[in-house]
Amino acid sequence: MKLLQNLGLVLFIIGLLVFTGIPFSGSYQLDRKMVLDHTKEMHQDAMVEVLEPMYENTYASNFSFIKDFNDLFNAYNEGLKEEQAWDKVIWDDYAFPLTKAASNGPVEDAPLLFLALSIGLAVMGGLLYAIPLYRNKPAGIKHDGIYFSSMKARGWLGIITGTYLIVFYIILYWYPEYLTNLVIMVDPLSILLSGGPASQWFLYGLIYTLAILVMGVRMFRKYKGNNYQTIRTASVMFFQLAFAFLIPEILVLFNMPWHDFKNIWPLDYSFFYEYRIEGMVSSGALGMFMLIWGIILIVIGVPAFTYFYGKRWYCSWVCGCGGLAETVGDPYRQLSDKSLKAWQVERYLVHGVLVLAVVMTAVTITNYFMEFGLLEQATNQFHSLYGFAIGSAFAGVIGTGFYPFMGNRVWCRFGCPLAAYLGLVQRFKSRFRITTNGGQCISCGNCSTYCEMGIDVRWYAQRGQNIVRSSCVGCGVCSAVCPRGVLKLENGQEAGRINDMPIIIGNESIKVKS
């Protein structure tokens, strides 16, 4: 078994290395036709001319190709800006499509082979590693050695992993043209699903989904015997695969807008953007359904489900960010900051982002109905600011890249506006709570340590107080790790849910109010 697992690790690392190496392969050659094919009509003449000097060159790497492209392209735009010819400046990003088109080489010739050698090997290695985990071991908590682990306790492996993720996200969001070979590699898959070639987002969605699936299998092994964990993990795996990955691609196949039916505004912050609304409105009955369904989720779905089950119904059962955090991020859950200070920062930040998202959306909608008056510029600026700072930097780079540094829920805890909304409902109007079991707590600290949201669960448990916190995503791990059976996630009557002055059972001498 050990042998198989080690083989798995080796395969995973080979896959990862091939994946990392692929962007550096091949050569690049641009011609006039490519430029014509991949630029808007209004830009065609200009672009063909601007890029003229590149046509006779064969570039040995994407670095030199992109450098030349940027030099020429930027020089052209700068010139226009100097002349104040603002209407001629090209704002579109042509680096990605043109680099993709210009790419030649082994990956383009045999994309499936490279897909198998990179992502394929990594997935297979991951499964070979995960499936035999804890075989022949009794069900129970599997946390031995976590704080001796370089990967899980901010050692060098953790730092390397975090850095890799951060770099990957930065390239993905802001320099996707360097990833074109990887995108070419998944083109066949994209064509199969949606009928069209892949974008960097298809690549990302594929990796994301596979990561959740493989690490979900690891969760099944780790929490064997704990049905809450198993079912919850199966749920996030299903929602990611079906709702976030397959269905949206298939929609595109049928000429519908790409749509993730389980993504809810304000996490889905572009839901009310003009192009999204137009896309839905112009897509017939199904499009209308997307719009109405999305609004029902916001107005009725979130409050109703959260009233009955707490925000966990979304955050640790359905959500894609939550899905990644609960599977890929599980090894890092103990790294969340439990200090009071962190809690304060959390409340300001997460509610701040919520306010920002609401204001931005309000401006967007007003703008929509005012038919692009003065507000247009504000809206656009708002969108690019939010997209950059929150949508990309916070949710992606920090949200996932910081797993090995600050735990797996950095985004969900400090940044997600939907989590803030769900949290407000959970805190003030819900049947969900974590009940503490009388006087049984021994203050050991396992619950707080393994709380990914940084809740100091022990603080409540040791004074016999139910845990009713807006941030709790109901992952159930505190309950799982408690060695004394003190914690139970439950939905129950609202009466008695919040007990600020709890009485610990067991001492009849006095009524102890903690």
Binding site for ligand SF4 (CB under 6 A): 441-447, 457-458, 461-462, 482, 484, 486-487
Which burial class, exposed, middle or buried, applies to 47 when counting CB atoms under 10 A from its CB (0-12, 13-18, 19+)? buried
Closest separation between CB of residue 484 and other proteins, Å?
A: 5
Does position 141 interact with other proteins (CB under 8 A)? The reply is yes
Structure tokens at 204: 């990302």
Question: How far is residue 212's CA from residue 346's CA, in Å, rounded to a whole number?
Answer: 26
Please choose which of ligand SF4, other proteins, none residue 447 contacts, taking the beta carbon within 5 to 8 angstroms, the exact cut-off set by kind. Answer: ligand SF4
Does position 449 interact with other proteins (CB under 8 A)? The reply is yes
Closest separation between CB of residue 459 and other proteins, Å?
A: 8
Decide whether 392 or 465 has the Cβ nearer to other proteins.
465
Whole-Å CA distances, 231 to 225, 227, 228, 308: 11, 6, 5, 18
Question: How far is residue 504's CA from residue 514's CA, in Å, rounded to a whole number?
Answer: 8
Q: Which of 303, 387, 445, 502 binds other proteins (CB under 8 A)?
A: 445
By CB under 8 A, what part of segment 296-315 binds other proteins? 308-309
Does position 21 interact with other proteins (CB under 8 A)? The reply is no
Does position 191 interact with other proteins (CB under 8 A)? The reply is no
Q: Which of 56, 86, 87, 145 binds other proteins (CB under 8 A)?
A: 145
Residues contacting 366, CB < 8 A, separation 6+: 375
CB 282 within 8 A of CB 464: no
Closest separation between CB of residue 303 and other proteins, Å?
A: 15
Neighbours of 229 (CB within 10 A): 22
Residues contacting 61, CB < 8 A, separation 6+: 24, 27, 28
Does position 139 interact with other proteins (CB under 8 A)? The reply is yes
Decide whether 352 or 439 has the Cβ nearer to ligand SF4.
439
Please choose which of other proteins, ligand SF4, none residue 141 contacts, taking the beta carbon within 5 to 8 angstroms, the exact cut-off set by kind. Answer: other proteins
Question: How far is residue 331's CA from residue 327's CA, in Å, rounded to a whole number?
Answer: 8
Closest separation between CB of residue 270 and ligand SF4, Å?
A: 40
Helix axis angle for 340-369 and 274-281, nearest 10°, is: 60
Does position 458 interact with other proteins (CB under 8 A)? The reply is yes
Closest by alpha carbon to 422, among 325, 313, 302?
302
Does position 342 interact with other proteins (CB under 8 A)? The reply is no
Please choose which of ligand SF4, other proteins, none residue 507 contacts, taking the beta carbon within 5 to 8 angstroms, the exact cut-off set by kind. Answer: other proteins
Decide whether 188 or 445 has the Cβ nearer to ligand SF4.
445
Question: How far is residue 394's CA from residue 401's CA, in Å, rounded to a whole number?
Answer: 10
Amino acid at the residue 301? G
Structure tokens at 475: 């992952």
Amino acid at the residue 401? G
Decide whether 438 or 496 has the Cβ nearer to ligand SF4.
438
Chain residues that interact with other proteins, rule: CB under 8 A: 138-141, 143-149, 226-228, 231, 308-309, 339-340, 431, 435, 437-440, 442-446, 448-449, 458-459, 462, 476, 479-481, 483-485, 488-493, 504-510, 512
